[in-house]
Structure 1
Amino acid sequence: MEPKLEQYQAIIFDMDGTLIDTMPTHVSAWEQTAEEFGFDFDASWLHSLGGMPSPKIVLEINRRFNLELDPMQVSDFKMSRFAEAEEKGDLIEITHKVLLDNMEQKKVAIGTGSQRMNAEPLLESKGVIDHFDAVVTATEVENHKPFPDTFLLAAEQMNIQPKDCVVFEDTLLGLQAAHAAGMDCYLVTEKGFEFRPVLESAYTE
């Protein structure tokens, strides 16, 4: 479906898996990390945690597999494997088009679960960082997705009310964060965009 964005003053884009197709590289880095630290590798489960910072994913791994891995040691290893990848993914065409079509008429922001040290170089390498009025990363917030803090801070930095923002996301964690922020959401799926308005906030997945 073609997104209908006339009613919004600002658009907030998730980065990984929404604007840039980095998730295969992230999952590959997790596969190498699982081999290094000896935990079970579950690609679909790790993909579902997209938007969550790596140290918090390690806490989820510990909880799921009853382990006591050091979150910073494991996440540092994972992030180094990701950083070493020569190609981290291309811009996702349909979402990039939304950005290009709207960045002159509306405020636009990034709201990502990646750390700033990783997000900024990636956005720069794709030639899009200068398009954004705000870039909010995991570095700036304490409560990450599915909490609303990332998107609320992006709205604040753009000086736009949350209700006047719409979010583009690719995970249920991101959808939950958008709804918690009082924002409508378009999910980026293999079939295109799926509109999930905030009025659905009582939904059950």
Structure 2
Amino acid sequence: MLDLSPYKAIIFDLDGTLVNSMPAHLDAWQHASQVHHFPFDKAWLDSKGGMPSYNIVKLINERYHLALVPEQVSQTKAQHFATIRHHCELIPATSKLLMQHYNQKKIAIGTGSRRENALKLLEGKTIENCFDVLISANEVSQHKPHPATFLAAAKALRVCPSECVVFEDAELGFEAAHRAGMALIKVTHDGQIQSQ
């Protein structure tokens, strides 16, 4: 078991860290690419994990010199994701760790998803009510790799950034945690926790 005793608070990313939702997100992106006629680059889109969909659409426009309407594309993607969201299961290693520290440490979720989407993804799962704070794309104006999400979580938990440890699966989240001055523990794509 990881020794998290040096930290007062744990901040978990959601997609790909607590819930195995990245395959469903990529499926939804593929659907959106077919509807809105843009190239589907699975590896590139996977590398943008942690970023709100409308920001990813802006990057797609830059990358392919397109003029997609971010709100329309992200809505198409979100609607398709909603139809397959129920297939997204908890990641055993991180959800178990969250439950082990529930009521012992302050716990937050810091996600690039919109609040309503994050809450729907957590709905009916054992960890649904086991965190003190949820910071989503709605609560910050700058998103990962900017540290705002994690800094907002620390502020809401009333702890210093140096007293927090972040669990993350994506490069953008790794950078955000480092920029926030927080310890980082990486979660691999197969749901394993990398030792410190």
Which residue of the partner structure matches residue 201 of structure 1? none
Q: 1:152 to 1:127 in 2, by over 3 A?
A: same
- TM-score by length of structure 1 reads 0.91
The structural deviation recorded for 1:194 is 2.6
Instruction: Give me the whole-angstrom Cα distance separating, in 1, the residues matched to 2:85 and 2:95.
Output: 22
Instruction: Give me the whole-angstrom Cα distance separating, in 2, the residues matched to 1:191 and 1:96.
Output: 10
Would you say 1:22 and 2:18 are equivalent positions? no
Matches within 5 A, 1:1-205: 2-85=1-84, 87-189=86-188, 190=190, 192-194=192-194
Instruction: Give me the whole-angstrom Cα distance separating, in 1, the residues matched to 2:126 and 2:105.
Output: 19
Instruction: Give me the whole-angstrom Cα distance separating, in 1, the residues matched to 2:106 and 2:172.
Output: 23
Instruction: Give me the whole-angstrom Cα distance separating, in 1, the residues matched to 2:105 and 2:49.
Output: 26
Instruction: Give me the whole-angstrom Cα distance separating, in 2, the residues matched to 1:143 and 1:108.
Output: 22
The structural deviation recorded for 1:37 is 1.0
Gap regions ≥5 residues in structure 2 = none
The structural deviation recorded for 1:68 is 1.0
Q: 1:150 to 1:195 in 2, by over 3 A?
A: farther
Matched residue type, 2:75: D
Gap regions ≥5 residues in structure 1 = 197-205
Is contact 1:3–1:193 with CA below 8 Å preserved after alignment? no
Identity of aligned residues (%): 48
Q: Which deviates the most, 87-96 or 187-196? A: 187-196
Matched residue type, 2:100: D
The structural deviation recorded for 1:195 is 5.0
Q: Which deviates the most, 113-122 or 141-150? A: 113-122
- TM-score by length of structure 2 reads 0.95
Q: 1:104 to 1:192 in 2, by over 3 A?
A: same
Q: 1:66 to 1:175 in 2, by over 3 A?
A: same
Deviations 1:45-80 (A, max 9, x none): 111111100000001111111111111011111111
The structural deviation recorded for 1:192 is 2.3
Q: Aligned pair count?
A: 195
Q: 1:184 to 1:91 in 2, by over 3 A?
A: same
Instruction: Give me the whole-angstrom Cα distance separating, in 2, the residues matched to 1:94 and 1:127.
Output: 14
Instruction: Give me the whole-angstrom Cα distance separating, in 1, the residues matched to 2:6 and 2:77.
Output: 40
